């Protein structure tokens, strides 16, 4: 499997972990910590966006140019 961009990996894993913790704290422990998690979601979304942009830029560089004969 091709290695993914580290920013994209951090963003994806961060979003999954934060969402699971948010659900666990809200439902299981009944703690009102929504503001903390809503502040963390945009941080990991920014990591995902940076990784996505870098992946797309690298894919554009790898497209071969056809030369007419």
Looking at per-residue confidence, does 61 or 48 come out higher?
Answer: 48
pLDDT tens digit sequence for 3-57: 778 888 999 999 999 999 888 888 888 777 777 888 889 999 999 999 999 888 8
58 neighbors 21 (Cβ within 8 angstroms): no
pLDDT band of residue 1 (cuts 50, 70, 90) is very low
CA-CA-CA-CA torsion sign (54, 56, 62, 68):
negative
Looking at per-residue confidence, does 61 or 20 come out higher?
Answer: 20
Tell me how far apart the alpha carbons of residues 15 and 12 are, in angstroms, rounded to a whole number. 5
Specify the pLDDT at position 2: 66
Please tell me what DSSP assigns to residue 62. T
Instruction: Tell if the pTM clears 0.85, that is, is over it.
Output: no
55 neighbors 29 (Cβ within 8 angstroms): no
Dihedral Cα 39, 42, 44, 47, nearest 10 deg: -140
């Amino acid at each position: 499997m091709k290695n993914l961009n580290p920013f994209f990996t951090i963003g994806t894993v961060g979003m999954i972990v934060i969402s699971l913790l948010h659900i666990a704290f809200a439902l299981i422990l009944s703690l009102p910590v929504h503001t903390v998690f809503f502040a963390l979601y945009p941080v990991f979304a920014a990591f995902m966006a940076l990784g996505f942009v870098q992946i797309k830029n690298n894919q554009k560089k790898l497209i071969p140019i056809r030369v007419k004969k």
